[in-house]
Structure 1
Amino acid sequence: MIRHTDWTVRLTDFVKSKKHTPFEWGVNDCCLFVADMAQTITGVDPAATFRGKYKSELGAMKQLKKQGFDSVEAVLTHAFGSTVSRLEVRRGDVVLFENDGRDIAGVMFGEVLAPGEYGIETFSPLLIKKVWRVG
């Protein structure tokens, strides 16, 4: 994956387009949110094998297992490769953070962004557990 030369504009436009899009399993959940972002800035869809295959949390977990993964972290590592230090996080990176005892995938954009009930929610970078470069 290589970022488009205008990736910063694409990333900003992506965030604006998702601002009011609520969380929905199989449409705009945390993993598809980061995959959509990656596709926007690179042209490569890291979630192609997952799209359209689940509509619930249980369905998502079944799909993870079916494709040989045991966690969100494992899927992100498969899609984006090795992690980098949390201290090296940059705009447009994919991150894993914990919220209410659950691992959540998000996008670094000054703060961590992830889909919520009414659209994008922001979280402190201090919550980041893992970081993956995109492109």
Structure 2
Amino acid sequence: MKRYDDWVTRFNAFIKGRYGVPFSWGSQDCCVFAADGVLAITGHDFAQAYRGYSTAEEAAELLVDVGGCQALATRCLGEPIRWSLARRGDVVLHVVDGRESLGLCAGGVFVAPGPEGLVQFPMDRALMAWSV
């Protein structure tokens, strides 16, 4: 998977366009958000086979089937790296309310969907990352 030459512009536009979008299963949840970010900067949709759910129950069933967010990201993006090695556009794993969640590295922070839109977290809250 190779990033577009203008991936920085694409990534910035993607993040800007998602800031005010509230959480929604199947369209603005952690997995779809991370996959859409990767799609924006590479043209590769790593979640293509997993799209189509629209409820918390369907998402939970899918995650059980694939072994969770970490397993899904590893299956689609390869072996994880230390979070401290992540660069802008890389996928990160963190825990929210005791559950695995994915986000995207945005420099010294990572962003992930929240109830009212994207939420920023310090990078040291990430547990691991995957290079894109």
| CA deviation after TM superposition for structure 1 residue 23, in Å | 0.6
- TM (normalized to structure 1)? 0.92
Matches within 5 A, 1:24-63: 24-52=24-52, 54-63=53-62
Counterpart AA for 2:112:
A
TM-score, normalization: structure 2? 0.94
User: How large is the RMSD of aligned CA atoms in angstroms?
Assistant: 1.1
Cα distance in 2 between the residues matched to 1:70 and 1:44:
22
Q: Residues 46-90 of structure 1: CA distance to partner in whole angstroms, max 9, x if unpaired?
A: 1111111x112211121234xx41111000001110111222111
Q: Deviation of residue 27 (structure 1)?
A: 1.0
State yes or no: 1:90 paired with 2:109.
Answer: no
| Alpha-carbon displacement from aligned partner over 1:77-104 (angstroms, at most 9, x marks no partner) | 0111011122211111100011221211
Structure 2: runs of 5 or more not aligned:
none
Match of 2:77 in 1: 80
In 1, the alpha carbon distance for the partners of 2:119 and 2:129 equals: 18
Q: Mind listing any 5+ residue stretches in structure 1 that lack a counterpart? A: none
2:10 alignment counterpart: 10
Residue among 116, 120, 123 paired with 1:122: 120
Percent identity over paired residues:
37
